[in-house]
Amino acid sequence: MSKEEVARGGWSNQVEFFLSCVGYAVGLGNVWRFPYLCYRNGGGAFLIPYILSLTLVGLPAFFMELAFGQFASLGPITIWRVCPLFKGIGFASVIISALVAISYNVVIAYAMYFLIVSIVHMDTNVPWATCGNDWNTIYCRTETLRISPGMNESEKVNVTLSTMNTTCVDQKMNSLGLAFDDLTYNLTSRNFSDCSYKDQIRTPSDEYFSNFVLGLDKADGIGGIGDFSPKLIAVLLLAWLIVFFALKKGVKSSGKVIYFTATFPYVVLIILLVRGVTLDGYMKGLEFYLVPKFDKLADPRVWTDAASQIFYSLGPAFGSLITMSSYNPFHNNCYRDSILVAIINCGTSIFAGFAIFSVLGFMSEVTNRPVQEVAADGPGLVFIAYPEAIARMPYPPIWAFLFFFMLILLGLSSMFAMVEAIISALADEYPRVLRRHKSILTFVVCLVLFFAGIALVTNGGIYVLTLMDAYSGSYSLLFVCFCEVTAIAWIYGWRRFSEDIEIMLGFKPNIYWIATWTVIAPIFIIGVLIASAIRFSPSHYEDYQFEQWAQNCGWGLVALPLVFLFGTAFIQILRYKGLRNATTPHDNWGPALPENRKGRYVVGQENKGFEAEEKETKLGDDMEIKKNGNSNGSSITVQF
């Protein structure tokens, strides 16, 4: 093993790398976002734009980053010695990863809290199964709240009563000289319309998550997020401790943990699917999920949703793929790995939809509500809708434990890759100071990100989380990916990049890869960026619309990585004395190990960059001085 491999480390075997890529790509979005997008955008018909987006932009960007990182064995900042002008892409990627990791780990902390509660109540029932608790309001209801055609008049009145403020109804009936239990009176008359709060009715799981777990009832919008939540701070600290210990020794330690975190979620998904298809009404959910509505394909929103989901799921431009592949052996078949991971990611999303919607179909059946009323995406699905369905199953704590344990593992696998990208980027950029103390660096990074997320575990922390989620990994990420693909394919050059891949894998990419890298993917990304901007709507949480100052803060999160991207480019132009030099690879660009330097990277071949040219110029000047008799007698040593 070379000094470089010893200093930087590497995967113990290729299975660890492959599982790490799977764990990174298959995250929370596969469970809480894809199924919702699928049913909202035409069911099975949504798979057409989804697979097309995978083929045209997702897979090409994924393979490009794996090949890029593996070839140079460098982190996402230092790797831009290939084109110093774009070094800001590395800084931007690290900033985006940090912002996303802050909010992502808070979601994992929520799941950890639910997991702990499930364990504590293993011999009873989950606390979100009933109303009448301290955190519940008069709007909490567990019974069916919909009038069915088969109901008699008394049953209809009972349902109507359940959607009304009974104190208000009692006062009005007394004023009319009627008894409260007069079930024949038409309670839907205009005399009682102001007593109805049907639109305010909430499920026990909704009030448990909002009022008890979050403490949202104690917050006053994003400008008044309230006090810190000790229980959420505790689980957030636990989540960051797990990340730290998993990454303490870099990929050597995370590679061991990933065997479990990347595989066990599939076991749980299978268990949940088997349970789901044994419940009443499961077919209602599956039909809603899969029955194609091809007319939806005429809606541009369907196509942008598909492209966005593929993009954010596979995760290019975060720096994580470059980081993970940089620890590979030089000749690892990353071409095969990229295709397999993309297929597994796509298949997992579809499979997770079966597990989710079979249970939502059951929920629709027992509550007599349409599937679209019980379906949700994001936190609403995993912390409200699905737990509500679990509470109606036999032995709810067991199913709650499995579900939230799966969420935690899915989240942690992605977290490992994002945080490792930050750590490796800093260690590779400042190796003399940070690489030898990587464990300390890991601790400091985790500690800083923990404190950065403290505002998200206040009573109104969900507002901050929603704002960060909406802005931190959106427009800036798309633009950074566009710059990255363009820089590699056009500035460095697709021909040179293809030759690099040939040195590494033994073959050049075919026309499909060249066409997608140079033309299709950049245009596709810009198209998604423009469409997303056209469809932009201010961020909100449920019915609460964030104030303009909060939206401005969100745009600040978008601007932050872009400031580093453009600012670094300006500095590099000044440093390298012009645009030409700033777009020329360093003289030390290429494979990290001497035995892998072939072709134009062989010593003496034409692969000189700006630094080498600068040294040659200096050497020439010194020799001229010596020739004229003006040398100070010092020897000249040139190292390439």
CA dihedral 279, 389, 106, 564 (to 10 degrees): 70
Residue 620 pLDDT level (bands cut at 50, 70, 90): very low
Q: Are 475 and 529 in contact (CB under 8 A)?
A: yes
Q: State the pLDDT at residue 369.
A: 84
CB neighbours of 31 closer than 8 A, spacing ≥ 6?
352, 356, 381, 382, 406, 407, 410
Tokens 């297929």 — which residue? 343
User: How much is the average pLDDT of 547-557?
Assistant: 96
Region 124-138 average pLDDT: 92
d(CA 150, CA 134): 35
Q: What is the mean pLDDT of residues 417-441?
A: 95
Instruction: Give pLDDT, residue 477.
Output: 94
Question: In 237-285, which ranges are E strands?
Answer: none
Of the ranges 186-200, 528-542, 567-581, which is most confident?
Answer: 567-581
Binding site, residues? 23, 25-26, 30, 313, 345, 410, 414
Q: How many C-beta neighbours within 10 Å does residue 299 have?
A: 12
Task: Determine the pLDDT at residue 300.
Answer: 87
Does 409 have pLDDT greater than 90? yes
CATH code of the domain occupying 3-125+213-453+470-536: 1.10.4160
| Structure-token match 């079930």, residue found | 183
* Confidence at 438, pLDDT banded by 50, 70, 90: very high
Of 63, 30, 49, 86, the C-alpha closest to 479 is 86
Q: Does position 41 have pLDDT exceeding 60, yes or no?
A: yes
Mean pLDDT of 225-234: 96
Is residue 598 very low, low, confident or very high in pLDDT (cuts 50, 70, 90)? confident
pLDDT digits (tens, 9 = 90+) for 144-197: 544 444 444 444 444 445 555 555 555 555 555 554 444 444 444 445 555 554
Mean pLDDT, all residues of the chain: 87
Which pLDDT score, from 0 to 100, does residue 138 have? 86
Q: Residue 455 above 60 pLDDT? A: yes
Query: Residues 564-583: what's their mean pLDDT?
Result: 97
> 622 pLDDT exceeds 90?
no
Give per-residue pLDDT as tens, 69-113: 999 999 999 999 999 999 999 999 999 999 999 999 999 999 999
List every span in the chain annotated with CATH 1.10.4160.
3-125+213-453+470-536
221 φ/ψ angles, rounded to the nearest 5 degrees: 75, -175
Mean pLDDT on 133-139: 90
- Which has the closest alpha carbon to 24: 351, 419, 402, 326? 419
Report the binding-site residues for Na(+).
23, 25-26, 30, 313, 345, 410, 414
Q: Are 404 and 180 in contact (CB under 8 A)?
A: no
Listed range (14-23, 135-144, 626-635) with the worst mean pLDDT: 626-635
Three-state DSSP class for 453? coil
> Which value, to the nearest 10 degrees, does the dihedral of the CA atoms of residues 198, 203, 206, 209 take?
140
**Residues in the chain, how many?**
640
Query: How far apart (Å, rounded) are the C-alpha atoms in residues 430 and 417?
Result: 20
Q: Residue 133 pLDDT more than 50?
A: yes
In percent, how much of the chain has pLDDT > 70?
84
